Amino acid sequence: MNRTAKFFGAAIGIFVCYFYYGILQEAITKGKYEHKVTNADGTVEVTQEKFVYSLSLVFIQCVVNYAYALILLQTVQREKPTDAVVENRLYGVCALTYILAMVSSNMALQWVSYPTQVIGKSCKPIPVMLLGVLLANRRYALRKYLFVLLIVIGIGLFMYKPKLSSTSNPNVFSTGELLLVMSLAMDGLTGAIQERMRVNNQKPNSAVMMKMMNLFSIGYTLVALVLSSEIYSFIVFVLNHPEVVWKITTFCIASSLGQFFIFVMVTDFGPLPCSIVTTTRKFFTVLASVILFGNVLTNTQWTGAVLVFLGLGLDSLYGGK
DSSP state of 197: H
Task: Give a yes or no: residue 22 inside a domain.
Answer: no
Contacts 24+ apart (CB under 8 A), 143-147: 143/318, 143/319, 143/321, 144/315, 144/319, 147/311, 147/312, 147/314, 147/315, 147/318, 147/319
Closest CA to 237 of 84, 115, 7, 57: 57
Give residue 161's pLDDT.
63
Three-class DSSP category at 33: strand
Q: Convert the pLDDT of each residue in 239-268 to its tens digit.
A: 888 889 999 999 999 988 887 787 777 667
Tell me the mean pLDDT in the region 294-320: 78
For residue 261, the enclosing domain spans: 52-319
Q: Convert the pLDDT of each residue in 265-281 to its tens digit.
A: 766 776 656 666 777 77
Give residue 135's pLDDT.
67
Task: Give a yes or no: residue 30 inside a domain.
Answer: no
Task: Give the total number of structural domains in the chain.
Answer: 1
Task: Give a yes or no: residue 41 inside a domain.
Answer: no
Task: Give a yes or no: residue 2 inside a domain.
Answer: no
Tell me the mean pLDDT in the region 210-226: 91
CA distances from 93 to 63, 109, 280 (A): 18, 25, 31
Closest CA to 261 of 252, 274, 249, 251: 274
Q: Convert the pLDDT of each residue in 38-93 to its tens digit.
A: 776 767 777 788 888 989 999 999 999 899 888 888 886 665 554 455 567 778 88
Closest CA to 127 of 106, 89, 157, 97: 97
**Whole-model pTM?**
0.76
Q: Convert the pLDDT of each residue in 150-160 to its tens digit.
A: 887 887 778 76
Q: Positive or negative, the Cα torsion across 126, 130, 131, 132?
A: positive
DSSP state of 42: S
Instruction: Give the CA dihedral 85, 89, 91, 92, nearest 10 degrees.
Output: 160
Task: Give a yes or no: residue 4 inside a domain.
Answer: no
Tell me the mean pLDDT in the region 223-236: 92
Query: Torsion-angle region of residue 42: left (phi > 0), alpha (psi -120 to 50) or beta?
Result: left
Q: How far apart are CA 318 and CA 190, in angstroms?
A: 23
CB 30 within 8 Å of CB 109: yes
Task: Give a yes or no: residue 8 inside a domain.
Answer: no
Give residue 141's pLDDT.
79
